[in-house]
A and B are shown apart, each in its own frame.
Chain A
């Protein structure tokens, strides 16, 4: 194994920042009270939860009472989509989403199809973008919900959320966005963007795992997802994950306070990686929009090689990255996102996702640029597909 470790998978998860951890720690030990209890130990943790709620609300341009803590981004997506669908069933049973959503949204929509709902999966263009016009055209009198991700986890494409919000608001349809990848990377204001519901997850912006939140605009009807006690003003039962909620609050405050400097830094790392890799390695394509993409996201397809092999070899050099190949997706098919932007299977299998974060430097990019061409070259020398290209039998 390599001595050098370069973590380039921040879209998968991030570490917890020291200042976040520091605020969390007392809530595991001395400040352990149940926020529902009346005595001072309980009041203390109740106050901590409400302060965290204020911080999340401030980060999103929402009101505090519109923020509900959950156990994850996935729970927030499930709650938003099932909750809005069931609460508005009398109005209609049609839902609109896109072909490139995270499985937390896609599989929830598929479940609702089995419950008798009708779902439209909007296709995306070759860069992974949905147009506001597509959304406008798909809305019907019985449409109760539009759910479109803010930014894609694989190819980083940022959707025209404000434009879509304008349309859904005019048409009176609830608009949910899965902003798990966007928070801390993109400026978000739920009021200006006409967003009705928004999901987020702390571990994507240097907060802890196991805690997320759902913004539900005042007046939006959503059935409860977890039934039980009266926590979260009766909307989401469960004793609060106090330390996690405190960590989420601190992390989102830091993420939004530093967003411009953070973005600038990541964009420099991203753009240099894209330019240099495309210059140094032949038969490569960039997946996702060149500019309308998350500041830290790079997604390539290297032809004639397979993604898992690439990841294993990078790992041996200490580089942690990700791929949309079937071998890493846990299914027979490569990533549904790469297929949705029109990649043939064999090219989707050879994808590499690099996502930069706080601790990365230009030296990390230097190191990647040093090892990646050799690894791609080595795998291609082993590949019978590349052999055909070299002999001129295969058109590229």
Chain B
């Protein structure tokens, strides 16, 4: 059911781990729903120079985390914020419909980590932080993708 690329990123995930002196950290998801993504970003001169993640979740959740960290590296903050869940899924050669919410989490983890960075640096985030995501109910995250 998963593409070869998804299986590759699941079995050999890129950038697993933590960045001890990260400039932005975003955690989204909920253990109750069965997936949590935590993303660490190192940012210098508006450029994301390093990204790492830790994820509790299914194969698609791990693979999208891995792909999302690969995609943000070397990008400006603005470019990273423009990465959509669809782009993450496409970079993995697609996800099964029931797993699309996992790519949503990846997009939200990037945004949450960048918001954290902006807040810490006195720049204006939208004020929601990651909470707009992590406090959601599972149904909100999943429902739009139900078959």
Nearest CB of chain A from residue B38's CB, rounded to whole Å: 4
B95 within 8 Å of A (CB atoms):
no
Choose one: A325, A332, A383; the contact of B138 (CB below 8 Å): A332
A191 within 8 Å of B (CB atoms):
no
Q: Which of B10-24 contact A (CB under 8 A)?
A: 10-11, 13, 16, 18
Residue of B at shortest CB range from A333? B138
Q: Which residues of B contact A (CB under 8 A)?
A: 2, 7, 10-11, 13, 16, 18, 27, 31-38, 54-59, 61-62, 98-99, 138-139, 142
Nearest CB of chain A from residue B4's CB, rounded to whole Å: 12
A304-B56, A309-B58, A312-B59 known; A382 vs B32 contact (CB < 8 Å): no
A308-B59, A309-B59, A312-B10 known; A387 vs B34 contact (CB < 8 Å): no
A381-B16, A382-B13, A384-B27 known; A327 vs B34 contact (CB < 8 Å): yes
| Residue picked from A316, A326, A384, A386, most chain B C-beta under 10 Å | A384
Contacts of B58 in A (CB 8 A): 306, 308-309, 325, 327
B55 touches A382 (CB 8 A): yes
Contacts of A384 in B (CB 8 A): 27, 36-38, 54-56
| Residue picked from B11, B18, B58, B139, most chain A C-beta under 10 Å | B58
A392 within 8 Å of B (CB atoms):
no
Q: List 22 A-B contacts (CB under 8 A).
A: A306-B34, A306-B57, A308-B58, A308-B59, A312-B7, A313-B11, A325-B34, A327-B99, A334-B34, A345-B33, A345-B34, A346-B32, A382-B13, A382-B54, A383-B36, A383-B54, A383-B55, A383-B56, A384-B37, A384-B55, A386-B56, A387-B18
- Describe A's contact surface by its main secondary structure: helix
Q: Range of interface residues on chain A?
A: 20 to 34
Q: Which residues of A contact B (CB under 8 A)?
A: 304-306, 308-309, 312-313, 316, 325-327, 330, 332, 334, 344-346, 349, 381-387
Choose one: B7, B16, B33, B35; the contact of A382 (CB below 8 Å): B16
A316 touches B33 (CB 8 A): no
Nearest CB of chain B from residue A369's CB, rounded to whole Å: 21
| Residue picked from B34, B35, B98, most chain A C-beta under 10 Å | B34
Contacts of A312 in B (CB 8 A): 2, 7, 10, 59
CA distance A164 to B105 in the complex (A): 48
Contacts of A308 in B (CB 8 A): 58-59
- In the A-B complex, the 5 residue pairs with the smallest Cβ-Cβ separation, listed nearest first, are A346-B31, A308-B58, A327-B58, A349-B34, A384-B38
CA distance A35 to B33 in the complex (A): 52
Contacts of A334 in B (CB 8 A): 34
Contacts of B55 in A (CB 8 A): 382-384
